[in-house]
A and B are shown apart, each in its own frame.
Chain A
Amino acid sequence: MKNKQKALIFEMSQPGRIAYSLPELDVPEADNLPVELFRDEPAELPEVSEQDLMRHYTELSQRNHGVDNGFYPLGSCTMKYNPKVNEDVARFSGFAKIHPYQAGETVQGALRLLYELQKDLAEITGMDAVTLQPAAGAQGEWTGLMMIRAYHESRGETKRNKVIVPDSAHGTNPASATVAGFKAITIPSNDKGLVDVEGLKKVLGEDTAALMLTNPNTLGLFEEEIAVIAELVHEAGGLLYYDGANANAILGIARPGDMGFDLVHLNLHKTFSTPHGGGGPGAGPVGARGDLVHFLPKPMVARDDQGDYYLDEDMPWSIGRVKGFYGNFGVLVRAYAYIRTMGPEGLRKVSENAVLNANYIMRRLEPYFDLPYSSKPCKHEFVLSGKRQKKLGVRTLDMAKRLLDFGFHPPTIYFPLIVDECLMIEPTETECKETLDQFIDVMIQIAREAEETPEIVQEAPHNTVIKRLDEVTAARKPVLRWTKEKF
């Protein structure tokens, strides 16, 4: 299969083949169709048989690596096992084949599920209420920031236009701040990799809308001074936003609400085991505390005195709607099933094991790589620097590509931006010790190769279906679709 070019489905097309079955037209043909509005030429879609179609996509799937194929220690992405029973329940016709506009009395099961999930996530994060509407983490961030905006405006504070983010923050934080109409202010981390409290004091002021923080942060370190930070931000009149991308480290151990955060989003496709789907769909529920609850998007799922569930649209302070209907319901069903499977004890174990796994890899790799922040235990992830190997002419990108030869998905690389030649490793709790050991052995081998036979690493990958791709030309002369003329 190596280096074999895979045909596009368009290139397999033969006029006359079909892979569909449609019902016969069983009504009298209409004589008043708007034929003048019909297209002149049909869309150039492929014509293949059903078996051709299945072979095509099966072959494509074989050219793809998922968690079920092997270890996927992609930092900050929490690539844990995606439970199969959750896939099954999400496909129950009572969940998959219901319409969002059905009358409330015909969807009580779905509404109850959403109501309970709202409550569970509020409990897990220490918040007062949770909306399930946002489709992904970034949309959750933006939703939270819009609520922050509405909160300040409701108090007549219209000058609070700055959102502070640490330089270690996810790229979505500053991007979401901009989309919500704020100016993002970046503050440098201190030499321990944590928020520099003195630096924070300098930028806090009357124009501060909020501080966005991930805790543990993207270096995998717990912000120990979080209570002080929260007090400072609140004293300045600002709010504290929790980016939940790293929540897998603290389930049942520490809650953002107890740390002083006013708002939080969770990535259900990270912490709560729903599959990433090759880039989505995710879900990014947002929790709020105190007065901020009034600004949550509408509708919320509520329960009346009779115990019936309904969609509450009567929310005069709400920022409005952020996504169609009630969020990515199918994803929410999976996350709900996960929480029911794990229970309180299981969730706590998830975080304990995730942290134990990360520390184990960190300490075992410490002799072979630079560890920029190693004085404390890490949480669910940690960062290595490939500085030592870079001096030998082997870059972090090369080491990542070399990992592909061993069937591992590489860690997140070159992020966070504050660590030179960064590798960010998050094993998750669902990996067994043998897998961790295999990964560690391979990393040690790569470190040795960097010293002894660097070209093996520099020229990697050697065993994949395709070699390194020319990304520069792809961006300079974009070919973004297939066209018939060319073939």
Chain B
Amino acid sequence: MAKFRYLPMTEQDEKDMIQAIGVNSVRELFAEIPESVRFSGNLEIPAAMSESALLKHMGRLAAKNASFDQYISFLGAGVYEHHIPSVVNHVVSRSEFYTAYTPYQPEISQGELQAIFEFQTMICELTGMDVANSSMYDGFTALAEAAGMAAAASRRKKIVVSETVHPEARQILATYAKGAGWEVVQVPAKDGLTDLEALEKLSDERTAAVLVQSPNFFGNIEDLGAVEKIAHAHKKLFVVSANPLSLGLLKPPGHFGADIVVGDAQPLGISASFGGPHCGYFATTKKLMRRIPGRIVGQTVDEEGVRGFVLTLQAREQHIRRDKATSNICSNQALMALAASVYMSSLGKKGMQEVARLNIQKAHYAKKRLALVPGVRIVHEQPFFNEFVIELDRPAKEINRELIKLGIIGGYDLGRINPAWKKQMLIAVTEVRTKEEIDLLAEGLGGLL
């Protein structure tokens, strides 16, 4: 009897096929695998579950997690709770999209290819850049790839990165650097922004690129104009990591002369999902486009002159260039890029400004409101987008443990990256937080401090 609904082979099929092949058994098809390397036992994994048992089991696991549906979250630090329009899930659930592979056969992949072409355009529009690729694993690895592209373009090995860049992005950069042989120099922060004096001192003619993030890890908006002047001295490349949602409102890095802009499109219609899958994006200038990592879609015409789209500039890629490729990336986050495209199409020209405005307004209200709570101190007085740092009278970890009892997931405990900051908390406020919820956090903190 058939037991596995994903396996259509019947006993009769098996018999017929064995006969057609000219063997006596399925076992014979594995005969050349030497006995010594053969696995004879049973895999020690749990027995098969029916669909209903699986749903129950998965439901129980899911129920052990505190989700945004039950709790009011002020967590950000690179991953944000935003409203996701219903259309996003409806489009990415179309199985013509999600069950397809990389569009190697353009004639039957025009849908995916055109959607990515539109994604590339939207990312260019938001970042103010000429060219964008089809996506990277996440914003952090996109930053490391940007460092790699800068090193290759400049033939230099020193990478200067601001300490206001997300700590995980810097950790990943350090891992990539070990393989690539880069020297990574970190520029300290001053009052929540990149210390420009230190940046000038630490970057020199051996430097391939200067990497900053804006809004930075602490939520503050960097002075990109000032960073650019230092970055472009000695022909270094200027790399900016940016939250794309903030670019609905903020001047795009391209406006400041950035050479490469990267980031994560998670805020654009992609669920937090415990950290992934999200969607790195990568944008650059025309000048550098032939060095870009990953897949790129280009416009062309077919034999009859009809406009169509293809994967292009493939001479950069691993399946052609092998060990000389600009990157080893193959699979990317295409479906997440589609989700981000649907989000950007849904929000459109006006909505992207409006959602960014709601974020900045609500975050400003929250900062002002929390500043009134005795025992809460505002740490930085810098221009900011939707996140800011507060200092508390007690360790953030303890406070968060109390807040959860009030139905609130508190901010990011900065003690996780620096013990000296254990009383500091990074608070994110997006458009989904109401005034009432912000007031509830203020009252909650007031009761705990």
Report yes or no: A30 in contact with B368, Cβ–Cβ below 8 A: yes
Partner of A342, one of B48, B61, B79, B295: B48
Report yes or no: B7 in contact with A19, Cβ–Cβ below 8 A: no
Report yes or no: B274 in contact with A98, Cβ–Cβ below 8 A: yes
Partner of B171, one of A34, A103, A141, A320: A320
Report yes or no: A85 in contact with B221, Cβ–Cβ below 8 A: no
Residue B420 CB within 8 A of the other chain: no
Report yes or no: A253 in contact with B38, Cβ–Cβ below 8 A: yes
Q: Interface code A136-149, partner B: CB below 8 Å = 1, 0 otherwise?
A: 11110110011001
Q: Interface code B35-48, partner A: CB below 8 Å = 1, 0 otherwise?
A: 01111001111111
Chain B contacts with A in 251-307, Cβ cutoff 8 A:
251-252, 255, 264, 271-278, 289, 295-304, 306-307
Q: What's the least CB distance linking B346 to chain A, in Å?
A: 5
Q: Which residues of B contact A150 (CB under 8 A)?
A: 178
Chain A contacts with B in 1-56, Cβ cutoff 8 A:
3-6, 8-10, 13, 15, 17-23, 25-30, 32-34, 37-40, 42-48, 50, 53-54, 56
Given the contacts A100-B272, A415-B319, A482-B118, A343 and B9 also touching, CB distance less than 8 Å: no
Q: Which residues of A contact B436 (CB under 8 A)?
A: 26
Report yes or no: A146 in contact with B335, Cβ–Cβ below 8 A: no
Report yes or no: A461 in contact with B249, Cβ–Cβ below 8 A: no
Residue B226 CB within 8 A of the other chain: no
Partner of A9, one of B7, B331, B345: B345
Chain A contacts with B in 257-271, Cβ cutoff 8 A:
258-260, 267, 269
Q: Which residues of B contact A473 (CB under 8 A)?
A: 300-301
Closest chain A residue, CB of each to CB of B404: A106
Given the contacts A57-B115, A69-B96, A478-B289, A465 and B107 also touching, CB distance less than 8 Å: yes
Stretch at the interface among A196-204, A358-366, A383-391, A441-449: A358-366
Report yes or no: A276 in contact with B67, Cβ–Cβ below 8 A: no
Q: Which residues of B contact A28 (CB under 8 A)?
A: 365
Report yes or no: B43 in contact with A94, Cβ–Cβ below 8 A: no
Residue B449 CB within 8 A of the other chain: no
Residue B3 CB within 8 A of the other chain: yes
Q: Report the separation of the CA atoms of residues A412 and B276 in the bound assembly, to the nearest whole angstrom.
A: 29
Q: Interface code B119-133, partner A: CB below 8 Å = 1, 0 otherwise?
A: 011101110001110
Q: Which residues of A contact B180 (CB under 8 A)?
A: 179, 181
Name A's interface SS: loop
Report yes or no: A97 in contact with B67, Cβ–Cβ below 8 A: yes
**Which of B138, B329, B345 counts the most chain A CB atoms within 10 A?**
B345
Given the contacts A28-B365, A99-B81, A324-B275, A22 and B355 also touching, CB distance less than 8 Å: yes
Q: Report the separation of the CA atoms of residues A224 and B4 in the bound assembly, to the nearest whole angstrom.
A: 31
Give the size category of B's interface with A: 35 or more
Chain B contacts with A in 398-444, Cβ cutoff 8 A:
400-401, 404, 409, 412, 416, 431-432, 434-436, 438
Chain B contacts with A in 86-101, Cβ cutoff 8 A:
87, 89-91, 93-101
Given the contacts A177-B323, A481-B131, A471 and B331 also touching, CB distance less than 8 Å: no
Residue A356 CB within 8 A of the other chain: yes
Stretch at the interface among A232-240, A285-293, A327-335: A327-335
Chain A contacts with B in 262-302, Cβ cutoff 8 A:
267, 269, 273, 275-282, 297
Q: What's the least CB distance linking B33 to chain A, in Å?
A: 5
Residue A453 CB within 8 A of the other chain: no
Report yes or no: B69 in contact with A137, Cβ–Cβ below 8 A: no
Report yes or no: A94 in contact with B61, Cβ–Cβ below 8 A: yes
Q: Report the separation of the CA atoms of residues A91 and B268 in the bound assembly, to the nearest whole angstrom.
A: 17
26 residue pairs bridging A and B, Cβ less than 8 Å apart: A46-B345, A61-B96, A62-B111, A77-B101, A93-B62, A97-B67, A99-B275, A107-B65, A123-B44, A139-B137, A145-B179, A149-B178, A179-B179, A181-B179, A278-B102, A279-B334, A331-B277, A355-B30, A359-B17, A359-B21, A363-B20, A364-B20, A377-B21, A433-B13, A466-B107, A468-B107
Leading 8 A-B pairs by shortest Cβ distance: A325-B275, A94-B62, A277-B335, A343-B48, A109-B64, A100-B275, A279-B334, A64-B111
9 additional contacts, CB 8 Å, given A178-B323, A253-B38? A37-B221, A63-B114, A87-B93, A106-B65, A109-B64, A135-B137, A179-B179, A328-B137, A329-B274
